[in-house]
């Protein structure tokens, strides 16, 4: 059986996976928004709320693991959210340019 700290680490890994996939979808939406009446707009808005809740849950879990609040914030946003979102934006922008050049 897992002790409470190990369960929290497993929870963090699952939440990071959800956050990673969601950030990729949002980055894809930003680069390829589709038409005004697209369903992707609604999906992106709903997903943004879910991702905000996921980030808050990760932050609370890091605090429960006795991280300092500033360290937890820097680790979560500076070490995961911003790099993943920016790399995804660059990836989808390069992909879009390659498709348009063909």
For the stretch 15-52, pLDDT in tens is: 999 999 999 999 998 898 877 777 888 888 899 999 99
Distance CA 4, CA 82 (A): 29
- When divided into structural domains, the chain yields a total of 1
How far is residue 24's CA from residue 91's CA, in Å, rounded to a whole number?
A: 10
Q: For residue 13, what are the domain limits?
A: 4-101
Q: Model-level pTM?
A: 0.86
- Per residue in 49-102, pLDDT tens? 999 999 999 999 999 999 999 999 999 999 999 999 999 999 999 999 998 998
Instruction: Give pLDDT, residue 90.
Output: 96
| Packing angle, helices 39-64 and 4-31, rounded to 10 | 150
């Amino acid at each position: 059986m897992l002790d409470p700290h190990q369960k929290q680490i497993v929870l963090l890994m699952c939440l990071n996976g959800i956050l990673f996939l969601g950030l990729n979808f949002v980055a894809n939406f930003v680069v390829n928004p589709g038409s005004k009446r697209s369903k992707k707009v609604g999906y992106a808005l709903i997903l943004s709320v879910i991702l905000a809740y996921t980030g808050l849950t990760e932050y609370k879990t890091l605090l429960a693991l006795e991280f300092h609040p500033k360290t937890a914030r820097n680790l979560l946003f500076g070490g995961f959210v911003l790099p993943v979102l920016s790399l995804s934006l660059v990836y989808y922008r390069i992909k879009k340019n390659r498709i348009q050049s063909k």
